[in-house]
Each structure stands twice: as structure tokens, then as C-alpha cells.
Amino acid sequence: MIKAVVDNLKGLWSLVVGLSVTGRFFLSPQKTVHFPRDVVGPEILESFRGPLELVPADDQGGSKCISCQMCARACPGDCITVVKGDAGKAPKEYKYDFTLCCLCAACVESCPAGAIRFSHRVYMVARSREELRLDLLADLRERCGLEPAPAPAPADKTKAVA
């Protein structure tokens, strides 16, 4: 009997504690960002998984990729197509279909050369499926400033929105 009363008094006190927590939250500043007027900082995007991108090996648009096909094999959604180049190990073509990608990171983890990673493009907009079928080599060259953006350029749109 006494235990029940004490337990219930403790329970009541926990309700007061709960009220004080929400009351404090009510008065403290907000955590959300009003998107069109304000954007989140890059440090928050550190852990954001956007579409894949190639890691630049140098500033000449070269990648670390050795065309070993490990990423294409590891991918559960078959969204990566790598074509080996004629000379050397560098790929001739690296196509990535973002519509099929589930952002599982199997490719990133399986890559022996550490050549791919997730980008932090959070404000990406596409108006058709074609725009989401990315050419990562072109994207890499574009990021190095070697090539103007091709016609369906998701990277360009990203910048425009951000």
C-alpha cells in the first residue's frame, strides 16, 4: 500500500519533470532551417549521402579508379557501369544510375582503390530520369574545372538551387 503510494508519487513527479522538459524546449531556440530562406551548413552535410562521385587523384581530372569492376559487382541495384580504357587501368566510361541507387555504400566499401565516395549534394533537382543517369567521369572533370557542364547537368542545377 505504502509502496504503491510512493510509486505513484514518483510517477507524478516524473510528469512534472516531463512538463519542465517540454517547457524548456518551448522557450529554447528552434532547430529547423527554413529552406528557401536559409540553408544548412556544410558540417551538417558531412554525413549526408548524395549521389556517388569519384575521388580526384590529381587536379587534372584523373581518378583513382582502376576499372576492377568491384563496385559494379557489389552493387545490389546494378546501377554502376564501368568500362575499362584502352590504355592503362583508367576507366573510359563510368556511368552511374542514381534512380536505381539505394545509397547502401556497398560500392564504396568494396572499392580497393578508394576511388568513389558519396557526394553531399542535398539540393539536387532533376526534371527527368535522364538527368539522374550520371556520367561520373564528366562530373569529376567538371569539378576540376576542365570541362563545361554538359547539357543535362545535375551538378549545375545543384549549384543554382543552393
Partner 1 sequence: MDLSIANFAQIIIACLLVIALMVGNAVVMVYVERKACGFIQRRPGPYEVGPRGILQAVCDSMKLLGKQIYVPGNIDWILYFLAPVLAFFPVLLLYLPIPFGRHLTAMNVDEGILLILAFSGLGVVSNILAGWASNNKYGILGAARAVSQAVAYEIPMIMALLAIVFLTGSLSLTEIVERQGSWPWQWNIVVQPLAFFIYLVSLVGETNRAPFDLPEAESELTAGFHTEYSGMGFALFFLSEYANMLLVSFVCAAFFLGGYKGPFMDGFWWMFIKAYAVMVFIVWIRWTFPRVRFDQLLNINWRWLLPLSILNLWVTAVIVRFI
Interface with partner 1 by CB under 8 A: which residues?
8, 15, 18-19, 21-23, 25-32, 34
> Cα separations (Å) of 149 from 40, 55, 142?
25, 18, 6
Minimum distance, C-beta of residue 44 to partner 1, in the bound complex (Å):
15
Minimum distance, C-beta of residue 41 to partner 1, in the bound complex (Å):
17
Minimum distance, C-beta of residue 17 to partner 1, in the bound complex (Å):
10
By CB neighbour count within 10 A (0-12 exposed, 13-18 middle, 19+ buried), where does 143 fall? middle
For the record, the C-alpha cell of 8 comes out as: 505513484
For the record, the C-alpha cell of 49 comes out as: 549521402
Minimum distance, C-beta of residue 21 to partner 1, in the bound complex (Å):
8
> Cα separations (Å) of 142 from 5, 150, 156, 157?
71, 9, 10, 13
By CB neighbour count within 10 A (0-12 exposed, 13-18 middle, 19+ buried), where does 97 fall? middle
Q: Which is nearer to partner 1, 34 or 127 (CB)?
A: 34
Q: Which is nearer to partner 1, 29 or 88 (CB)?
A: 29
Q: Which is nearer to partner 1, 29 or 148 (CB)?
A: 29
Q: Which is nearer to partner 1, 13 or 25 (CB)?
A: 25
